[in-house]
Amino acid sequence: MACAEPLLLTPLGARPNPIRSGPAVFVTHHRTFLGLSWWRRFSLIATTLSASLAVPCFQANGADVLPRMLLLDGSHQGPTLIVAVGERGTILRSKNRGQTWQAALVPQRAPLTAISVPPEVASTHAWAVGHDALILHSADAGLTWAVQFQGADRQSSFLDVLALDKHQIIAVGADALYAESHDGGLTWTKRKIGDADRHFNRLTRGPTGTLYIAGEQGVLLRSADAGVRWSPLTVPSAGSFYGILPLGQHTLLAYGLRGRLYRSTDDGGTWQTIATPKPSLLATATQLKSRVIVIAGSAGTLLTSHDEGKTFASWATSPTRGIAKLVEMPDGSLLALGEAGATLLPKP
Q: Go through the chain and tell me how many residues it has.
A: 348
Task: Report pTM.
Answer: 0.85
User: 141-152: buried (b, 16+ CB within 10 Å) or exposed (e) per residue?
Assistant: bbbebeebbebe
Q: Is the model's pLDDT at 41 over the cut of 50?
A: no
Which DSSP category does 123 fall into?
-
Please report, for residues 3, 12, 256, 276, 315, the alpha-carbon distance to residue 203 in angstroms, rounded to integers and kept in the order given. Answer: 34, 29, 14, 23, 26
The CA distance from 213 to 202, in Å, is 6
Nearest Cα residue to 139 out of 163, 108, 159: 163
Nearest Cα residue to 109 out of 158, 56, 73: 56
CB-side neighbour CA atoms (13 Å) of 329: 20
A 10 A CB-CB count for 266 gives 11
Which DSSP category does 299 fall into?
G
Q: Is the model's pLDDT at 56 over the cut of 70?
A: no
Query: Helix (H) and strand (E) counts for the chain?
Result: 1, 30
Q: Is the model's pLDDT at 191 over the cut of 90?
A: yes
pLDDT (mean) for 272-282: 95
**Per-residue model confidence (pLDDT) at position 66:** 59
A 10 A CB-CB count for 201 gives 27
**Over the stretch 199-231, which tens digit does the pLDDT of each residue have?**
999 999 999 999 999 999 999 999 999 999 999
**Per-residue model confidence (pLDDT) at position 60:** 53
DSSP string spanning 64-102? ----SS-EEEEEE-SSS-EEEEEGGG-EEEESSTTSS-E
Which DSSP category does 48 fall into?
H
Nearest Cα residue to 22 out of 69, 89, 71, 84: 69
Band (pLDDT 50/70/90 cuts) for residue 120 is confident
Q: Is the model's pLDDT at 302 over the cut of 50?
A: yes
> If DSSP states are collapsed to H, E and C, what string results for 26-46?
CCCCCCEECCEEHHHHHHHHH
Instruction: Provide the β-strand partners of residue 263.
Output: 253, 272
pLDDT (mean) for 236-260: 95
**Per-residue model confidence (pLDDT) at position 271:** 97
Q: Is the model's pLDDT at 53 over the cut of 80?
A: no
The CA distance from 240 to 38, in Å, is 12
What are φ and ψ of residue 47, in 5° steps?
Answer: -65, -40
Residue type, 148: Q
Instruction: Find out whether 97 and 108 touch, Cβ atoms under 8 Å.
Output: no
Domains of the chain: 193-343 (2.130.10.10)
For the ranges 40-49, 70-79, 228-237, 308-317, the lowest mean pLDDT is seen at 40-49
**Per-residue model confidence (pLDDT) at position 94:** 93
Q: Is the model's pLDDT at 18 over the cut of 70?
A: no
Nearest Cα residue to 325 out of 225, 238, 245: 245
The CA distance from 84 to 295, in Å, is 19
Q: What value does the mean pLDDT of the chain take?
A: 84
Q: Is the model's pLDDT at 255 over the cut of 90?
A: yes
pLDDT (mean) for 152-163: 94
**Over the stretch 58-117, which tens digit does the pLDDT of each residue have?**
455 567 765 577 999 999 998 889 999 999 999 999 998 888 899 999 999 999 999 999
Q: Is the model's pLDDT at 17 over the cut of 80?
A: no
For the ranges 8-12, 114-118, 135-139, 153-157, the lowest mean pLDDT is seen at 8-12
